[in-house]
């Protein structure tokens, strides 16, 4: 799993390596580095030759020990709040998730002080919104990345790369204001799930472009060259060879991007007001989503029922994101081409 | 390759399964109506509609309108009404932008220009007919505090104004002590919390301070807080902050003070301390005068009331509607729902949610006005 | 998640081996499929440019008239009253709060994030690596609103006494001076933000550290380096660009975080005295806009907030650009 994860998330900053294959093998072996195996000099009898390294050997050993303690300590310190957060959400939210109606009902006629009802409307809404966002953002993102890697040179490519950078810097609230100005102020169309999805598209495109781009550049040139040598047209090469090879990485990137936008709240606040009812129409009416459900119940946090619902919805959202990640990994593993 | 494909399909099917089982989803069965079922009496003849109605605005009336929505939706299974409690200003803005069918607001549409725009005119333009303010709910604003060991606190307008203006800074200040003879006040510093978002509650509270203590409160009234203190987002934010801070004080709608089990100050209007309860609020509401013309029913509250036993800090929240909707079907939906909301049966249930019923005279006028919406 | 760095792998289609991807223009036979596919790819790129141009135009068109009417200095004033006859607004306070909170978040998150990444790749026993890494990945994907809720409800009560102790002990130091703000101080926001971004820094750094060539590490150990010296001389230098881009991504997140900050922060009343104290309240750009989005009633008012949004936008973009330049330069050195 860890190999796949790394591959899926490979940052672009890896130093160029001669061969794709080698990298994998390296990484795999990498895990087996004996951590404790290397005797720190200064402790062993054969520390002598190292004297010319300058520092007193005792000091070096102490430094090493200190570093070890610091790393363990840092891990411990960081895990405290993170585990605390998970514990808070799970302990306060889990029993709602186990109730019979949570996965089947909506919140219709459940006032903020009442218990009961479910989160199905919001779960469906969140998934629908993520779906429509992906349908728009993924093709544009992948094609843009294809352009940058396979076609683009010169001014236009540089301009696109630059604008993708800008796009990745847009705060979600600004993206939402932009869509509001276009959608509502200029065209006078009503707010809806779709309008919010458009704002999310703006946030998702740069994620998809960058992840796809880094995956495409990992595809060995030999594959392209072989295809061209066989007289395969360029577009077929890109679709059947390059994209096929990079498939798993692209899917992982897309799903991580989706996980990111599913938790966004600011665009929903401005573009897709919450409803307690089922809503399967993306184009009109209020739209239920989990972040908005959390936000709504946050307003009545003094009421036990509302607070409980808020944690339940939080846990549900985390589980959805987790599920997406898992699906992404399964797809990545299944779809990766063994070259 | 084929193996990997099947796995992919399997994974997709897994995620799809959740969506597909959507068919099994259901609405909640009619809620056990809180506080006596309102199925009899004047709401009996509800005009049901199918489809949805959207409203947005004041968070002060959220609990009241939620109750009315539940009552209405329980009777009309095909109707869906959404109320988005994003704030009065937002409600009016979305109403003018034709995003919602009616707005909830803690203050009537302004007839004077603010930033070069006149709300009432813009709303009329959006409607194609005059927009009406219909007072629907009145809610008291509590001066909620958290001081260890002080369970009963009396304040008057002037001291309240000084506290919220940062002039009185400790709980054992002589000004407070004078009103609370016999109460042992600690020297804890006073922490004032205000609403950092624009809010109708802020507007009504500052209107009270300005009217009842003009010398001590020199600021303009408005939705934006102009006094001192520490800002928190929304009613839940200020209430939570006070709950967690010894020495904290804020102004917040009664329902939030109750939710968070905050202690509420009694207000001395000059004729003795008045506790916040339905009766004392009702006395102030009864003195409210309609100032609009015809069916436009803006209410004017006498914040400086000196009537014995009348709790003076209240807000009236309105529904802002078009008098004549360009789409007649939309008009009849609004009419149907507001008829339920204004009905005696629903209004009667609001008291236990922390609201005060409208005075009979006003309620009758509102019911007449609602019938005139087309 | 790594892909959000805004730092592209390559320049102008450079392949993994530092060679250009073969462009195969000759291979293109001018067939319809080629033209369509190439056209679609180009069109997508152009759409992205068009979108960004539109957004920039929209922001500027809305912001400029408000800025022209502004009675205050936009960059140096602390007044914020965008409505009325004489609108006056300046962003100094938001700029300070935003930058201060994000800086605190970075000062905590980067060292801890890197240390945990080193721990997970170099120190942790093998049985621990997988589960711990999965946990960190999960936390990197937890929506920020959840961190905010935890901060508000669970963490704040624990932080308050600590803050009180800091204030009373180090109050003489201007950054830690007592201000009377009880919760939602800049320091508190910074700490919650740091907890929010630590998993991001860790997840990305871990990947890059894990890719340190074995030969480098073995080389260092063979020369007699201690474990720590091996890390210092091979893993850290190798991972530095990745750490920088992870930190920049995290910084972008911290600068732009909206809702969690909105309900955590304590805002200041008009005319509050200026202080450098981190125990002061304030609003960040994003929280100010979100908290007031309901009141965008007139063009001037809206324009003022949009102008503030524009500054946030420029700030985030500047951060991304700097990261990119730094990484490009390091790349140039290492090649």
C119-171: per-residue pLDDT in tens?
Answer: 999 999 989 888 888 888 888 888 899 999 999 999 998 998 888 888 888 88
Same domain, C6 and C149: no
With CA atoms as reference, report the closest residue to C149 among C185, C192, C101: C192
Domain count, chain C: 2
Average pLDDT (A24-42) is 44
Task: Enumerate residues 6+ apart whose C-beta is below 8 A from C273.
Answer: none
What percent helix, strand, coil does chain A show, rounded to 5?
A: 70, 0, 30
Q: Residue C323 above 90 pLDDT?
A: no
Q: What is the CATH architecture of A120-334?
A: Orthogonal Bundle (1.10)
Residue C10: domain span: 1-30
Inform me whether the C-beta atom of residue B7 falls under 8 Å from chain A C-beta atoms: yes
Nearest-CA distance B119 → chain C (Å): 9
Q: What is the pLDDT of residue A56?
A: 58
Chain C: residue whose CA lies nearest to B195: C267
The pLDDT mean for chain B works out to 84
Q: Best mutation site among B2, B3, B5, B8 for testing chain A: the one with the most A CBs within 10 Å?
A: B8
B 129-148 residues inside an 8 A Cβ radius of A: none
**CB proximity under 8 Å: B 87-106 to A:** 94, 97-99
Nearest to B221 by CA among B205, B237, B241: B205
Q: Confidence band (pLDDT; 50, 70, 90) for A38?
A: very low
Residues C297 and C163 in one domain: yes
Q: Give the pLDDT confidence of C263-322 residue by residue, as tens digits.
A: 899 988 887 778 888 888 888 999 998 888 777 777 788 888 889 988 988 888 888 788
The per-residue pLDDT for C18 is: 45
B233 vs C157, C180, C263: nearest CB: C263
Average of pLDDT values for B20-41?
46
Query: Would the CATH topology of B5-139+315-371 be identical to that of B140-281?
Result: yes
Percent of chain A clearing pLDDT 70 (strictly above): 82
With an 8 Å Cβ cutoff, is B330 touching chain A? no
- On whether any CB of chain C is under 8 Å from the CB of A327, the answer is no
Look at residue A10 in the predicted model and tell me its pLDDT: 40
Predicted TM-score (pTM) of this structure: 0.86
Are C21 and C117 in the same domain? Answer: no
DSSP label at residue A5:
H
Alpha-carbon distance A143 to A205, whole Å? 11
Task: Say whether A298 and B73 touch across the interface (CB within 8 A).
Answer: no
Pair (C161, C207) in one structural domain: yes
Domain ranges (residues) in chain A = 2-66, 120-334
Chain B residues touching residue A331 (CB < 8 angstroms): 8, 11-12
Is the separation of the CB atoms in C217 and C318 below 8 Å? no
C-alpha dihedral sign at B186, B191, B192, B193: negative
Chain B contacts of A121, Cβ < 8 Å? 25
> Using CB atoms and an 8 Å cut-off, which of residues 120-159 of chain C contact chain B?
152, 156-157
Distance CA C149, CA A292 (A): 13
Please provide the average confidence, as pLDDT, over all residues in chain C.
83
Residue B155 tokens read as 């304040």
Across the A:C interface, residue pairs with CB atoms under 8 Å apart total: 429
Residue C180 lies in a domain: yes
8 Å CB contact of A173 and C289: yes
Q: What's the rounded mean pLDDT across residues B129-154?
A: 91
Residues of A in contact with C136 (CB under 8 A): 82
Using CB atoms, pick whichever of C269, C294, C295 lies closest to residue B228: C269
Share of chain C above pLDDT 70, in %: 89
Do C16 and C123 belong together in one domain? no
Nearest CA-CA distance, residue B235 and chain A, Å? 7
pLDDT bin (cut points 50, 70, 90) of residue A20 is: very low
CA atoms within 13 A on the CB side of B295: 19
Domain residue ranges in chain B: 5-139+315-371, 140-281
More confident residue, C97 or A16: C97
Yes or no, beta carbons of B28 and A323 under 8 Å apart: no
Sheet holding B273-274, edge to edge: B154-156, B266-268, B273-274
Give residue A31's pLDDT: 45
Answer yes or no: is pLDDT of B34 > 60: no
Judged against a pLDDT cut of 50, whether residue A140 lies above it is answered with yes
Q: What is the pLDDT of residue A44?
A: 44
**Claim to verify: residue C246 and residue C206 sit in the same structural domain:** yes
* CA–CA min distance C280, chain A (Å): 24
Least confident of A10-14, A153-157, B214-218, B342-346: A10-14
Q: Are C228 and A63 in contact (CB under 8 A)?
A: yes
Interchain pair A331, B62: CB under 8 A: no
Question: How close, in Å, is residue B361 to chain C by CA atoms?
Answer: 34
Contact residues, chain B, for C268 at CB < 8 Å = 230-231
Q: What is the pLDDT of residue A141?
A: 95
CATH number of C154's domain: 1.10.3720.10
Whether the pLDDT of residue A41 is over 50: the answer is no
Question: Could you tell me if C68 and C24 lie in one domain?
Answer: no
Closest Cβ–Cβ partner in A10, A140, A210 for C44: A140
B13 has a pLDDT exceeding 70 = no
pLDDT beyond 60 at C45: yes
Least confident range from B15-24, B69-78, B98-107, B223-232: namely: B15-24
Nearest to A110 among B28, B52, B85 (CB): B28
Is the pLDDT confidence value at A210 over 50? yes
The better pLDDT of the pair C181, A93 is held by: A93
Band of the pLDDT at B187, cuts 50, 70, 90? Answer: very high
Query: Class assignment of domain B5-139+315-371?
Result: alpha beta
Q: Let me know: does A298 contact C263? Beta carbons within 8 Å.
A: yes
Condensed to tens digits (0 to 9), the pLDDT of residues B233-260 reads 888 899 999 998 999 999 999 988 988 9
Reply yes or no on whether the pLDDT at A212 is more than 50.
Answer: yes
Asked if C276 and C137 sit in the same domain, the reply is: yes
Output the DSSP codes for C102-141.
HHHHHHHHHHHHHHHHHIIIIIS-HHHHHHHHHHHHHHHT
What is the least distance, in Å, from the CA of A301 to any CA of chain B?
A: 7
Backbone phi, psi, residue B132, to 5°: -110, 145
Nearest to C298 among B116, B227, B234 (CB): B116
Q: What percentage of chain B reaches a pLDDT higher than 90?
A: 40
Distance (Å) of CA C265 to CA A115, C93, C98, C146: 30, 13, 11, 15
Mean pLDDT, chain A, whole residue set: 81
Which residues touch A51 (CB under 8 Å, ≥6 apart)?
A57
Q: What is the DSSP string of B249-267?
A: EEEEEHHHHHHTT-EE-EE
What does the buried/exposed string (b/e) look like for C16-38 if buried means 16 or more CB atoms within 10 Å of the residue's CB?
beeeebbbbeebbeeeeebeebb
pLDDT at C301: 82
| A230-284 pLDDT per residue, tens | 988 888 889 888 998 888 888 878 887 888 899 899 999 889 999 999 988 888 8
Interface residue C303 vs chain A (CB under 8 A): no
pLDDT of res. B259: 87
Element at A309 (helix H, strand E): helix A304-335
The CA–CA distances, whole Å, from C229 to A54, C112, C123, C236, C238 equal 13, 19, 13, 10, 14
Residue in this structure with the two tokens 């916040």, named with its chain if needed: B276
* Partner residue opposite B87 with nearest CB, options C269, C270, C294: C294
Give how far B226 is from chain C: nearest CA, Å: 6
Mean pLDDT of B199-203: 88
Q: What whole-number distance in Å separates Cα of residue A151 and Cα of residue A145?
A: 9
The answer, yes or no, to whether residue B122 has pLDDT greater than 70, is yes
Any chains having at least 3 CB pairs less than 8 A from chain C are A, B
pLDDT grade for A336, boundaries at 50, 70 and 90:
low
Q: Among A128, A265, A294, A299, pick the best mutation site for testing chain B contact (most B Cβ within 10 A).
A: A299
The pLDDT of residue C3 is above 80:
no
What pLDDT score was predicted for residue C212? 86
**B140-281 under CATH 3.50.50.60, yes or no:** no
Based on the domain organization, do C301 and C174 belong to the same domain? Answer: yes
pLDDT category at C334 given cuts 50, 70, 90 is low
Size of chain C in residues: 335
């Amino acid at each position: 799993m860890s190999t796949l994860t790394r591959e899926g998330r490979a940052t672009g900053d890896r130093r160029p390596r001669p061969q794709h294959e080698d990298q994998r093998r390296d990484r795999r072996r990498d895990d087996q580095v004996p951590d404790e195996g290397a005797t720190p000099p200064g402790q062993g009898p054969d520390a002598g030759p190292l004297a010319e390294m300058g520092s007193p050997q005792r000091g070096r050993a102490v430094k090493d020990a200190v570093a070890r303690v610091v790393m363990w300590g840092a891990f411990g310190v960081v895990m405290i709040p993170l585990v605390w957060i998970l514990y808070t959400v799970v302990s306060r939210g889990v029993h709602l998730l186990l109730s019979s109606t949570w996965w089947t009902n909506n919140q219709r006629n459940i006032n903020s002080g009442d218990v009961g009802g479910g989160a199905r409307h919001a779960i469906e809404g969140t998934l629908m919104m993520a779906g429509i966002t992906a349908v728009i953002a993924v093709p544009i993102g992948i094609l843009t990345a294809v352009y940058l890697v396979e076609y683009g040179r010169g001014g236009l490519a540089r301009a696109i790369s630059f604008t993708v950078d800008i796009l990745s810097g847009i705060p979600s609230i600004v993206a939402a204001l932009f869509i509001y100005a276009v959608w509502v102020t200029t065209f006078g169309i009503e707010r809806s799930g779709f309008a919010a999805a458009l704002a999310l598209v703006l946030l998702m495109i740069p994620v998809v472009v960058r992840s796809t781009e880094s995956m495409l550049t990992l595809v060995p040139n030999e594959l392209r060259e072989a295809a061209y040598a066989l007289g395969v047209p360029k577009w077929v090469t890109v679709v059947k060879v390059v994209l096929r090879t990079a498939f798993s990485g692209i899917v992982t990137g897309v799903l991580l991007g989706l996980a990111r936008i599913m938790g966004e709240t600011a665009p929903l606040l401005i573009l897709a007001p919450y409803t307690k009812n089922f809503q399967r129409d993306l184009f009109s009416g209020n739209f239920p989503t989990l972040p908005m459900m959390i936000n709504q119940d946050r307003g009545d946090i003094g009421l036990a029922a509302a607070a409980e619902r808020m944690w339940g919805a939080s846990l549900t959202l985390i589980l959805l994101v987790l599920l997406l990640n898992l699906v992404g990994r399964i797809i990545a593993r299944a779809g990766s081409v063994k070259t | 390759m084929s193996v990997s494909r099947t796995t992919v399909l399997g994974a997709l099917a897994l995620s799809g399964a959740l969506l597909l089982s959507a068919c099994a989803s259901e609405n909640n069965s009619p809620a056990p109506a809180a506080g006596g079922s309102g199925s009899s009496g004047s709401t009996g003849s509800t005009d049901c509609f199918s489809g949805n109605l959207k409203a947005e605005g004041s968070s002060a009336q959220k609990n009241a309108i939620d109750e009315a929505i539940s009552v209405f939706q329980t009777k009309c299974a095909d109707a869906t009404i959404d109320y988005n409690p994003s704030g009065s200003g937002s409600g009016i803005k979305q109403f003018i932008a034709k995003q919602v069918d009616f707005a909830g607001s803690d203050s009537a549409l302004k007839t004077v220009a603010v930033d070069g725009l006149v709300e009432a005119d813009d709303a009329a333009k959006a409607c194609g007919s005059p927009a009406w303010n219909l007072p629907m709910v009145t809610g008291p604003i509590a001066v909620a505090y958290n001081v260890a060991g002080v369970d009963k606190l009396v304040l008057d307008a002037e001291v309240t104004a000084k506290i919220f203006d940062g002039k009185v800074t400790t709980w054992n200040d002589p000004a407070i002590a004078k009103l609370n003879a016999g109460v042992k006040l600690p020297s804890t510093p006073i922490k004032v919390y205000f609403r950092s978002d624009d809010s109708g509650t802020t507007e009504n509270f500052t209107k009270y301070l300005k009217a009842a203590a003009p010398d001590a409160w020199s600021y303009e009234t408005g939705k934006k807080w102009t006094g001192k203190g520490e800002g928190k987002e929304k009613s839940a934010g200020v209430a939570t902050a006070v709950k967690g801070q010894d020495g904290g004080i804020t102004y917040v709608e009664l329902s939030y003070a109750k939710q968070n089990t905050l202690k509420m100050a009694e207000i001395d209007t000059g004729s003795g301390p008045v506790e916040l309860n339905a009766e004392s609020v009702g006395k102030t509401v009864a003195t409210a005068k309609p100032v609009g013309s015809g069916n436009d029913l803006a209410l004017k509250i006498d914040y400086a009331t000196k009537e014995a036993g009348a709790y003076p800090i209240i807000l009236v929240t309105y529904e802002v509607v078009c008098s004549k909707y360009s789409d007649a079907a939309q008009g009849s939906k609004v009419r149907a729902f507001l008829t339920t909301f204004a009905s005696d049966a629903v209004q009667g249930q609001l008291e236990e949610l922390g609201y005060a019923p409208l005075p009979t005279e006003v309620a009758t006028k509102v019911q007449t006005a609602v019938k005139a919406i087309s | 998640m790594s892909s959000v760095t805004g730092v592209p792998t390559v320049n102008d289609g450079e392949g993994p081996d530092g060679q250009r991807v073969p462009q195969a223009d000759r291979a293109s036979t001018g067939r319809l499929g080629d033209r369509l596919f190439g056209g679609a790819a180009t069109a997508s790129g152009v759409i992205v440019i068009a979108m960004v141009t539109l957004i920039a135009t929209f922001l500027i068109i809305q912001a400029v008239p408000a800025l022209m009417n502004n009675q205050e200095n936009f960059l140096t004033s602390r007044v914020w009253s965008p409505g009325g006859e004489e609108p006056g607004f300046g962003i100094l306070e938001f700029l300070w709060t935003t930058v201060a909170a994000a800086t605190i978040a970075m000062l905590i998150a980067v060292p801890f994030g890197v240390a945990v990444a080193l721990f997970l790749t170099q120190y942790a026993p093998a049985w621990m690596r997988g589960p711990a890494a999965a946990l960190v990945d999960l936390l990197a994907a937890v929506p920020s609103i959840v961190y905010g809720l935890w901060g508000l409800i669970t963490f704040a009560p624990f932080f308050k006494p600590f803050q009180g102790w800091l204030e009373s002990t180090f109050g003489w130091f201007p950054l830690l001076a007592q201000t009377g703000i009880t919760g939602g101080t800049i320091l508190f926001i910074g700490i919650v933000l740091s907890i929010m971004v630590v998993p991001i820094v860790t997840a990305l750094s871990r990947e890059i550290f894990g890719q340190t060539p074995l030969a480098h590490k073995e080389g260092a150990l063979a020369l007699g380096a201690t474990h720590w010296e091996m890390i210092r001389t091979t893993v850290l230098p190798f991972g530095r660009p990745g750490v920088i881009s992870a930190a920049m991504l995290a910084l972008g997140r911290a600068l732009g975080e909206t809702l969690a900050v909105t309900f955590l922060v304590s805002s200041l009343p008009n005319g509050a005295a200026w202080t450098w104290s981190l125990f002061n309240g304030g609003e960040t750009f994003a929280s100010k806009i979100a908290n007031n989005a309901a009141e965008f009633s007139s063009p001037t008012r809206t324009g003022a907030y949009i102008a503030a949004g524009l500054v946030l936008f420029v700030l985030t973009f500047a951060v991304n650009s700097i990261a990119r330049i730094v990484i490009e330069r390091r790349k140039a050195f290492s090649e």
